[in-house]
Amino acid sequence: MTEQQTPVMTPPAAPPAAPTGPKKKRKGRGKTIAGILIVAAIAIALVVLVWYFVFREDGSKGEVMTDFVTRGSIQSMVEGSGTTKAKDSATVTPGSGTILELFVQEGDQVTAGQQLYRMDDTTARDAVTEAQKSVDNCNKELQAVYDKIAELSITAPHAGNLREVADLKVGDTVNEGDTIATLVNDTKLRLSLYYSYAYEGDIKVGQTAQISIPAIMAPVTGKVEQINKVRFVSPEGATHFEVVLVLDNPGTLAEGMDASAGLTAADGTPIYPYQNGKLEYYESTKITAKATGPVERVSLLNYGDVKAGQLLVQLGAKDTDEEIASKENALKAAQEKLEEATKELEKYNAVAPIDGTVLQCSLTEGQEVSSGQGITIADTSQMIIEIQVDERNARYIKAGMMVDINQYGTPYVGIVESVSMTASGENGVASIPAVVTVDNYDGSLLEGVGLDYSFVASHYDGSMIPGTYAEYSFVASESEDCLTVPVQAVKYVSFANVQLPETLDADPSAGMDDGMMDDGMMDDGMMDGGMVDDGMMDGGMVDGGVEALPQSYSGGAFADPLGMVAVPMPGGGVVVDGGSMSSGGASDDSTGVIVWVKSKEAPANAILEPDPTWDCPEGFWAVPVEVGLSDNSKVEITRGLAEGQEVFIGYQNPDEMYY
């Protein structure tokens, strides 16, 4: 740096000798001369300072600081804060009354089903009993309605043949008790005969009989179905018992036909009844209506064969739906009262609903319970943190991913349990709820205490989340093996008055002459003397009107800012991530991002005639670039630079650093 010389002031020439003789004393003359000298000295000093700061060469601004284009990785982190709470907890509230016995206190470990306290529950039990009676009555009433509806359908009770059917038409009214038809099972017939007690021991159930029917002039085989030891006395004075026989109907027999049956004793003696009997249908049912209503459908045919369950007549009913709805509503109300009464009863002799620790107990023995008092139990073996993730970062948080947790300096590892698929927005910012679980078997993670969390943003699948604002979407992920430069190397400028190069692709050899990479000049991007560490100023903040702005936020509008990227603007403004601008200037189509590249000759993608307002150090060329991800110290260069190129990051002098 050129050493500046301060001009030496020549003292004023001595005044001519005054005439000899008496001298008159001049008051204040010495003070006036001294003041003039002081003012002259101040003016000269000001001139020197102006010359130093205005007319010095560019190199006099201070030592040019540079760094190199390197390959590395960039992580986009998401941070925020939240409050812990037990994943499973429950609060038990007693009913009105006095605590007779208390079995737990704060800090106790309890198991599900363990009794917590005892109270007098007589009144509560009576309330449950009455509520149960009401439910039972409502059920009966509703079932009666259903039974009534079922009776509107008149069906055949068994298979058979219809006889004596009623003459009904659609629209006719049927009253309860009206006879609809007679249904007979004529596939079998029954014959009742009387035999002398002299043959009591010779006739058995199941015994075969030959039945004679004069009407068909042919015998039919039957069997003894039933023996009734009645006492029938004939006019001749003989006593007889009843034998009921059953025979199949070949289709030619009918009720009322005369018939007789001959049996054979064990010794072969024929046995005959006292007199003939008459055939009867084996089964005969009179079908009557059990409800009153108009005929909506009718299927009755005299001597018609029907199957069991076949619909014969369908009656209609008025206001049936309304009646059912009324009964169902009454039943629902009664069930709700029963449920309330049951829950109230549980409050008088409560048990622990879950395994866990008694976190809070506001009860004492002999205490008259008031509102708001109770026992809180929580299973603190697993804690959850309910977080609100900014929409710009919500795309990268996934169920199952790990989250770093810190509570008062103690680290934990959490797992994302769930992520909502619906966002909620306020003031133009949307957030998505997510739940993080943390194992806490040792109990060191406290409930209801604030903590910090962070996770690494990863690639997302491109899906949109309902409720998010599309204008806030951006790509944030981890870039591996990418070209990076310090954040201070990236400048946001206006291209309105410059001629851009034909190509943006970098010349790999540009800026790497004169042994710039020799003997460890670039060690992890660190300049000699430690003035720049990974291209990052303290906290990502730079002086001279350049402000570090957050790249991303988490946990809502009041979360800590992350990923600070400072990109200086002409006139003190900055831009973040090569996108929207803040703190001065306006972004339009003529703006862009450049990096000053050190090179003897202009790189192929350099701006040959930069804007005069740009602060360009000597020996550097303005190169337009495309940027990607960024973190607190580095910016990803996706196009425009090559690995190893030396880039300008700022000035350093003994008094200050500026960019």
Q: What is the DSSP string of 364-390?
A: -TTPBP-TT--EEEEEEEEEEEEEEEE
Burial of 73 per CB tally in 10 Å (0-12, 13-18, 19+): middle
For residues 286, 292, 294, 299, the Cα torsion angle rounded to the nearest 10 degrees is -20
Cα distances (Å, whole numbers) of residue 274 to 232, 465, 535: 10, 98, 130
Q: How far apart are the first and last CA of the chain?
A: 19
Q: How far is 557 from 554, CA to CA, in rounded Å?
A: 8
Burial of 55 per CB tally in 10 Å (0-12, 13-18, 19+): exposed
Cα distances (Å, whole numbers) of residue 222 to 225, 258, 347: 9, 15, 73
Burial of 356 per CB tally in 10 Å (0-12, 13-18, 19+): buried
- Which tokens is 31 given? 């003070």
Strands 70-74 and 479-486: antiparallel
Nearest Cα to Cα of residue 418 among 87, 78, 91, 79 = 87
Kindly report the CA angle at 458 between 393 and 594, in degrees rounded to 5?
A: 80
Contacts of 11 (CB under 8 A, 6+ apart): none
Q: Hunting for tokens 């078997």 — which residue is that?
A: 441
Q: How far is 345 from 119, CA to CA, in rounded Å?
A: 10
CA 415 to chain centre: 15
Nearest Cα to Cα of residue 166 among 305, 277, 67, 313 = 313
Amino acid, res. 428: G
Please report which residue ranges of 276-319 form alpha helices under DSSP H: none
Strands 450-456 and 490-494: unpaired
Type and span of the H or E element at 59: none
User: pLDDT value at position 659?
Assistant: 57
- Which tokens is 405 given? 């947790």
Is the separation of the CB atoms in 222 and 245 below 8 Å?
A: yes
DSSP-assigned letter for residue 538: G
Nearest Cα to Cα of residue 447 among 399, 376, 350 = 376
Strands 626-630 and 634-639: antiparallel
Is the separation of the CB atoms in 496 and 650 below 8 Å?
A: no
- Which tokens is 44 given? 């000269």
Q: How far is 315 from 152, CA to CA, in rounded Å?
A: 5
Q: How far is 240 from 108, CA to CA, in rounded Å?
A: 88
- Which tokens is 45 given? 């000093």
User: pLDDT value at position 11?
Assistant: 42
Please list the residues that pair with 261 across neighbouring strands: 211
Q: How far is 646 from 620, CA to CA, in rounded Å?
A: 9
Q: How far is 125 from 136, CA to CA, in rounded Å?
A: 17
What parts of the chain have a pLDDT lower than 50?
Answer: 1-31, 48, 50-59, 459-476, 514-588
Q: Hunting for tokens 């005069």 — which residue is that?
A: 612
Contacts of 345 (CB under 8 A, 6+ apart): 95, 121, 124, 125, 127, 128
Q: How far is 623 from 597, CA to CA, in rounded Å?
A: 7
Is the separation of the CB atoms in 153 and 147 below 8 Å?
A: no
DSSP-assigned letter for residue 617: P
User: pLDDT value at position 625?
Assistant: 94
The radius of gyration of the chain from alpha carbons, rounded to an integer in Å, stands at 54
DSSP-assigned letter for residue 150: H
Burial of 317 per CB tally in 10 Å (0-12, 13-18, 19+): middle
Is the separation of the CB atoms in 637 and 605 below 8 Å?
A: no
Cα distances (Å, whole numbers) of residue 96 to 120, 122, 345, 369: 10, 12, 10, 6
- Which tokens is 58 given? 């560019």
